[in-house]
Copies of this chain bind each other. A is one copy, B any other.
Amino acid sequence: MPYKVLVIPGDGIGPEVVEAALYVINAAAAKYGVDLEVKTAEAGDAALRKYGVAMPPETLKLADASDVIFKGPIGESAYDVTSLIRMRYVLYANIRPVKNLPGVPAVRDIDCVFVRENVEDVYVGAEYKVGDVAIALKVITGVGTRRVARVARRYAEMRKRKVTVVHKANVLRVVDAFFRDVALEELKGLEVDQMYVDAAAMELVRNPLRFDVVLTTNQYGDILTDLAAQVAGGLGLAPSGNLGDGKAMFEPVHGAAFDIAGRGIANPIATILSAAMMFEWLGRSDAAQAIRSAVERSILQGVKTPDIGGNSKTAEVGRYIASIL
């Protein structure tokens, strides 16, 4: 039985970086004998303009039937696509590894994995406006915290058995304290520390190597992972995996970057490394490892896009990485 992969190219630079990643996905699948059935579907701003809806029913049907979704960035309608997918399939753990790549100038050395809760917090969409007052609910549940903490535990057990729980329980004394308490409970037996989110933002610039696995809530994770990616050398390199029980979505951390779309200069590495995470999740570490190694070699060999000091085109980088797998 092949794995059913739904590809959503997305908006802006999405189609370009996803095309580049598909060279790599197809080559890796062939070389390592991974049986994939790949379908492609539209979603995002372009779909909204064309069909009046950012996530067309046809795409939703294909997503429902897929084992895994491989997605490019979405523009202004990201909430209706990205967040919808995360919530509909309860992809409760957003895994964002952040690590320097050899040959890429960085602000600091960094090597950590963010485990971001992905379906709760102020991002649940429970918002109201009455007269001059607007209110959103920030929602944290015990069950939601426990399951994502267990994912953090799993990553910690594969790494240094060290987790930093990031919250703001000194101000959010009920909700963030609840997140912290449940998380600490689930992480017992590991080396665990905690940090306020403002301090964590600062430490990611000052001394990022102090972090190994970082467990945090949805919005703090959103902010801190963009920041951490920049510390490591730029958003063009940061992959992510949204994991649920039995289903997953992989996507670059970066956005649609409309300003450089269509010029063939977008860096496909974040998307290609997301493909590596997908193979890993499918149980094929061999293919995943081959992709990661090929990415590093391509950079060292100078086949890279302008954002990291090269002059290769997006598609070239994809084809080259596919060729040296």
Q: Which residues of A contact B (CB under 8 A)?
A: 76, 78-79, 83, 107, 122-123, 125, 127-129, 132-143, 168, 170-175, 178-179, 197-199, 201-202, 204-206, 219-220, 222-227, 229-231, 234-235, 255
- 8 CB contacts below 8 A, A to B, read A79-B171, A127-B172, A129-B174, A129-B175, A135-B140, A136-B174, A198-B227, A201-B223
- Given contacts A123-B171, A223-B198, is CB(A135)–CB(B138) below 8 Å? yes
Further contacts, 10 of them, CB under 8 A, given A128-B174, A134-B175: A79-B173, A122-B138, A123-B171, A133-B141, A134-B179, A135-B138, A136-B138, A201-B227, A202-B226, A206-B230
- Cβ contact within 8 Å between B227 and A227: yes
- Cβ contact within 8 Å between A137 and B134: no
- Given contacts A138-B135, A201-B224, is CB(A129)–CB(B79) below 8 Å? no
Residue with the highest number of chain B CB atoms closer than 10 Å, among A140, A141, A175, A202: A202
**In the complex, A172→B83 CA distance in Å?**
12
- Given contacts A134-B140, A141-B132, is CB(A226)–CB(B255) below 8 Å? no
**In the complex, A170→B219 CA distance in Å?**
13
- Distance (whole angstroms) from the CB of A202 to the closest CB of chain B: 4
For residue A175, which residues in chain B have a CB less than 8 angstroms away from its CB? 127, 129, 134-136
- Cβ contact within 8 Å between B127 and A174: yes
- Cβ contact within 8 Å between A201 and B172: no
- Cβ contact within 8 Å between A201 and B201: yes
- Distance (whole angstroms) from the CB of A123 to the closest CB of chain B: 5
Task: Count identical subunits in the complex.
Answer: 2
**In the complex, A222→B168 CA distance in Å?**
10
A137 nearest CB neighbor, chain B only: B135
Dominant SS at the A interface? Answer: helix
**In the complex, A143→B131 CA distance in Å?**
11
- Distance (whole angstroms) from the CB of A75 to the closest CB of chain B: 9
- Cβ contact within 8 Å between B127 and A135: no
**In the complex, A59→B132 CA distance in Å?**
34
**In the complex, A198→B240 CA distance in Å?**
15
- Distance (whole angstroms) from the CB of A141 to the closest CB of chain B: 5
Quick one: which of B136, B138, B142 contacts A132, CB cutoff 8 A?
B142
**In the complex, A6→B174 CA distance in Å?**
31
- Cβ contact within 8 Å between B202 and A205: no
Q: Which 7 A-B pairs have the closest CB atoms?
A: A127-B174, A201-B227, A198-B226, A132-B142, A134-B178, A136-B138, A134-B175
- Cβ contact within 8 Å between A172 and B140: no
For residue A172, which residues in chain B have a CB less than 8 angstroms away from its CB? 122-123, 127, 136
- Distance (whole angstroms) from the CB of A205 to the closest CB of chain B: 4
